[in-house]
C-alpha cells in the first residue's frame, strides 16, 4: 500500500489535469503548468484568491496557451499588454477560466533586439486586435499573426509611440 500525503494523493502519484473545468483550483493550475512545461515556467505565484501569475519562456508561449485553452479550460484572453524595461520587453496576458473563477497573468519576455513572440490569436480570437495594438504602439512582432499591421496609426508611420525612446 502506498503512503498517503496530506492531500490524500498516494506518494509518488502524479495528479493529472482535471477533466472538468469546475474542478480547477489555483494549485492544480500551477501543478499542471509545471508538469507540462517544467523548464519553461520560470516563476509562479498566487497573488490572491483566484488570481495567479506565471512566467514562461517565450519559446513555449504558444504551446502553453494551447494547453491552457484545451486542457485547463481557460477560454478568454482579456488583455495583452507590452511593458518596456531598459533591457527587454515583457508581454503580459490576462487569461480567464470563468468556470473556475480563475485569472492567470501569464508573462513572457523578449529582448529589445528581437521584440517578437508567437501570436496566440489562433488560440483566442480576441487576441488578434490586442496583438496588433502592441505591434502598433510598442513594435512587438507577433509571429504567425494572420494580419499583423497597424491598427491605430497610419500604415506608413515609422515609429512606435509608447516606446521610451520615442521623441514624438
Q: What is the pLDDT of residues 85-119, one digit of tens each?
A: 999 999 999 999 999 999 999 999 999 999 999 99
- Bridge partners of 110? 89
Is residue 158 very low, low, confident or very high in pLDDT (cuts 50, 70, 90)?
Answer: confident
User: Among 11-20, 86-95, 137-146, which stretch is predicted with the lowest mean pLDDT?
Assistant: 11-20
**Closest-CA residue to 74 (of 117, 14, 18, 130):** 18
Contact criterion met (CB below 8 Å) for 26 and 50: yes
pLDDT in the model for residue 23: 57
pLDDT of residue 2: 33
Beta bridge partner(s), residue 107: 55, 92
pLDDT band at 24 (very low <50, low <70, confident <90, very high): confident
Q: Mean of the pLDDT values across residues 136-158?
A: 94
CATH of domain 21-143: 3.30.460.80
Whose grid coordinates read 516606446? 163
User: Predicted confidence band at 1 (pLDDT cuts at 50, 70, 90)?
Assistant: very low
What pTM did the predictor assign?
A: 0.84
Say if residues 117 and 58 touch (Cβ distance below 8 Å): yes
- Which class for 116: exposed (0-12), middle (13-18), buried (19 or more C-beta within 10 A)? middle
Of 80, 75, 90, 95, the closest CA to residue 151 belongs to 80
Three-class secondary structure of residue 116 per DSSP: strand
- DSSP at 11: T
pLDDT, position 106: 98
Q: Which residues on neighbouring strands pair with residue 166, listed in sequence order?
A: none
Cell numbers at 126, concatenated: 480576441
User: 7 pLDDT exceeds 60?
Assistant: no
What is the number of residues in the chain? Answer: 168
Confidence of residue 167 (pLDDT cuts 50, 70, 90): confident
> Could you state, in order of their start, the residue ranges of all structural domains in the chain?
21-143
Mean predicted lDDT score pLDDT of the chain: 88
Amino acid at each position: 500500500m502506498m503512503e498517503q500525503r496530506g492531500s490524500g494523493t498516494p506518494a509518488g502519484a502524479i495528479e493529472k489535469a482535471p477533466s472538468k473545468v469546475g474542478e480547477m483550483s489555483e494549485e492544480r493550475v500551477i501543478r499542471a503548468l509545471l508538469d507540462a512545461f517544467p523548464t519553461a515556467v520560470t516563476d509562479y505565484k498566487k497573488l490572491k484568491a483566484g488570481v495567479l501569475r506565471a512566467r514562461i519562456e517565450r519559446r513555449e508561449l504558444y504551446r502553453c496557451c494551447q494547453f491552457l485553452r484545451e486542457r485547463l479550460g481557460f477560454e478568454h484572453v482579456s488583455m495583452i499588454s507590452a511593458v518596456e524595461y531598459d533591457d527587454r520587453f515583457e508581454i503580459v496576458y490576462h487569461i480567464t477560466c470563468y468556470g473556475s473563477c480563475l485569472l492567470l497573468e501569464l508573462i513572457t519576455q523578449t529582448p529589445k533586439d528581437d521584440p517578437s513572440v508567437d501570436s496566440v490569436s489562433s488560440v483566442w480570437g480576441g487576441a488578434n486586435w490586442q496583438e496588433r495594438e502592441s505591434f502598433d504602439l510598442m513594435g512587438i512582432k507577433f509571429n504567425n499573426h494572420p494580419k499583423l499591421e497597424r491598427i491605430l496609426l497610419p500604415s506608413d508611420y515609422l515609429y512606435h509611440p509608447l516606446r521610451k525612446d520615442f521623441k514624438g
